[in-house]
Structure 1
């Protein structure tokens, strides 16, 4: 093993640690964002029936009318849209102060726990053994250097 290999392993170790840490921070941030959105909706709760216009990978677009007769279609879609299909009517809850913020009625940030928890778990399930293996290789290299110097 050469010093170059040692350097590559060191960079790989830090890269794996940074990527796994970033995924963890992003997952926790998403959970806190969902909790914040739920709090905003519950502070000024409005309820309506919405029609699902389109379902895509990144968002589910809905249309609904508020009591003042204005039709709203949140640009970022509805929160917690799993299981919805285009053309479906669904009960929603929205923030009266910001009708762009809407969620499917009866759903909350708790719906994000399983997907985010799974994402973080599997990230560390891969990163943990990888970090252990790289560290073990680096320690073996240092040991061999110490033995050859002695």
Structure 2
């Protein structure tokens, strides 16, 4: 194996690695933005469903975790609702608190804190792309051609 063959393999491997980094960086950026948009779209659609068939009640917060706030309320007709996914937009709720909620009468599992809407989800949903996109752009730029230019060598002085 000649030095030229080894050098060519190293160059090809470096090019492939840089291309892979660029693909992964672009995919991560697109995925994070797409996910945020889909989350906001889902929140908007759920709010529209609640608005078209709205009931309201006073709910008791039965449990608060990092991911959700569970509530219990009278959904009318003697039905007590305990939505499995909890209440939408639960920021600031504490266990034992009584809070006004709006729910879809046909499906009381769709419930939100009264007065809150999908716009409450904008900041949390966009927080991930706000971090991922700039980091992905830096990784993409670092792996792009032209960034890794060879440092020019200073010729050795030739003795006379």
Whole-angstrom CA distance in 1 between matches of 2:119 and 2:15: 44
Question: Match for 2:92 among 80, 83, 91?
Answer: 83
Question: Match for 1:120 among 110, 116, 129?
Answer: 129
Greater radius of gyration (CA): 2
The Cα offsets for residues 50-104 of structure 1, whole Å up to 9 and x where unpaired, read as 1111111222111001221211100111100011111111110000111110000
The answer for the alignment partner of 1:148 in structure 2 is: none
Say if 2:102 is the partner of 1:93. yes
Give TM-score scaled by structure 2 length.
0.82
Contact 2:141 2:147 in 1 (8 A): no
CA offset at residue 12 of structure 1? 1.1
The answer for the alignment partner of 1:147 in structure 2 is: none
Aligned residues: 141
The Cα offsets for residues 13-39 of structure 1, whole Å up to 9 and x where unpaired, read as 101111111111010000000000000
Give TM-score scaled by structure 1 length.
0.88
Moved over 4 A (4+): none
Q: Which blocks of at least 5 consecutive residues in structure 1 are unaligned?
A: 145-150
Q: When you count helix as a share of all residues, which structure comes out higher? A: 1
Q: Which blocks of at least 5 consecutive residues in structure 2 are unaligned?
A: 1-9, 151-160
RMSD: 1.6
